[in-house]
Amino acid sequence: IGGGDGGVVREVLRHKSEKDGIVQSVELVDIDGAVIQQSKKHFPQIACGFANPCVTATVGDGAAFVKRAPDSVYDVIIIDTTDPKGPASELFGADFYTNVLRILRPGGVV
């Protein structure tokens, strides 16, 4: 959730390999598509992971995405947000984290 600059995606993909298959897919949801586009344009060394076919980037509200997601589907959820005041404030509330735990598989990591 968040991370539109692509830095987290790049780092997660370091754990993807044909042999081990640790990372099979990466989903990113960021509210600001301009961040994703500008990062690709100006910081390609950070945003390089967006080109990987196992990556899906969605522009949208992370809290709404988590609320709509089915139960127990994610092994790892990384929340890379800005500060708790302003547009990202909902990503710091109890309701958001209740839904994060709901969509996390047993034994998963936040």
List all residues 6 or more positions away from 64 whose beta carbon is below 8 Å from its beta carbon.
none
d(CA 39, CA 33): 10
Active site residue 83: no
Catalytic member of 5, 20, 71, 80 = 80
List all residues 6 or more positions away from 91 whose beta carbon is below 8 Å from its beta carbon.
1, 2, 62, 63, 79, 81, 84
Q: State the catalytic residues.
A: 80
